[in-house]
């Protein structure tokens, strides 16, 4: 599978209230790859993801996205709208883009084993099911880069494995970066990094 660098970070530094969080980060991320970033709580993993995704402004233009590619996020919290059904929560991503493709939604629901809950509401499904719904919503948005911030922190071991197995299957033609504490993610990763004391280092 061909890989191409689609996200590049050059000499990135970041501080908050005089606290240095990231120090001279230099890294290339490639298409068709899944990367995992490890580090203790408060190490700056989420900050790095938010900078990569534009949720925190990159004031010095140290982050370069090929063709200004769009970014999707998968968070620990599902952010599902409780008044809408599972189908409707996913459909929103299409409507925002003025698209209408129910077959694509149904296909993804079936692939992830949750077609049977499409008419349920968020308070009627499990945490693992809700995270799968959130990932489908991200896929429907059809972003090239997907950033995952501790996406399984609230799930049990079985559901963690299900979610990461699903995520890894969708890296084709995409770039996926996961910030996590979960050592099991390494077996799904093409490359892992450790973020310690503001430094990002490639590691096992």
- The model carries a pTM of 0.91
Confidence of residue 2 (pLDDT cuts 50, 70, 90): low
Q: Which pLDDT value is given to residue 1?
A: 60
pLDDT of residue 29: 97
Q: How far apart are CA 7 and CA 69, in angstroms?
A: 9
Asked if residue 189 has pLDDT above 90, the reply is yes
Sketch the domain layout of the chain as residue ranges: 5-202
pLDDT band at 145 (very low <50, low <70, confident <90, very high): very high
15/120 Cα distance (integer angstroms):
44
Whether the per-residue pLDDT at 97 is higher than 90: the answer is: no
Cβ contacts of 199-202, under 8 Å, gap ≥ 24:
199/23, 199/24, 200/22, 200/25, 200/27, 200/37, 200/48
Instruction: Tell me what pLDDT residue 3 has.
Output: 79
Taking 70 as the threshold, does the pLDDT of residue 65 lie above it?
yes
Average pLDDT over residues 67-86: 90
Q: What's phi and psi for 82, nearest 5 deg?
A: -65, -25
Location of structure tokens 């809700």: 130
Q: Give the single-character DSSP code of 183.
A: G
As given in the structure block, the two tokens for residue 84 are 């809408």
> 5-202 domain in CATH 3.40.50.300?
yes
């Amino acid at each position: 599978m061909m890989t191409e660098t689609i996200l590049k970070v050059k000499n990135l530094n970041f501080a908050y209230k005089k606290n240095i969080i990231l120090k001279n980060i230099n890294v290339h991320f490639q298409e068709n790859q899944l990367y995992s970033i490890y580090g203790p709580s408060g190490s700056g993993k989420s900050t790095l993801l938010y900078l990569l995704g534009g949720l925190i402004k990159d004031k010095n233009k140290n982050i370069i996205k090929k063709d200004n590619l769009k970014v999707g996020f998968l968070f620990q919290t599902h952010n599902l709208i409780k008044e809408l059904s599972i189908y409707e929560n996913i459909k929103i991503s299409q409507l925002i883009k003025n698209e209408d493709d129910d077959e694509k939604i149904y296909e993804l629901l079936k692939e992830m084993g949750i077609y049977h809950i499409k008419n349920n509401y968020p308070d009627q499904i499990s945490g693992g099911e809700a995270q799968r719904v959130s990932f489908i919503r991200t896929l429907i948005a059809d972003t090239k880069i997907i950033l995952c911030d501790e996406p399984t922190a609230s799930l049990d071991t079985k559901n963690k494995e299900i979610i990461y197995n699903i995520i890894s299957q969708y890296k084709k033609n995409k770039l996926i970066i996961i910030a996590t504490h979960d050592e099991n993610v390494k077996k799904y990763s093409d490359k892992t990094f450790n973020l310690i004391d503001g430094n990002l280092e490639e590691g096992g």
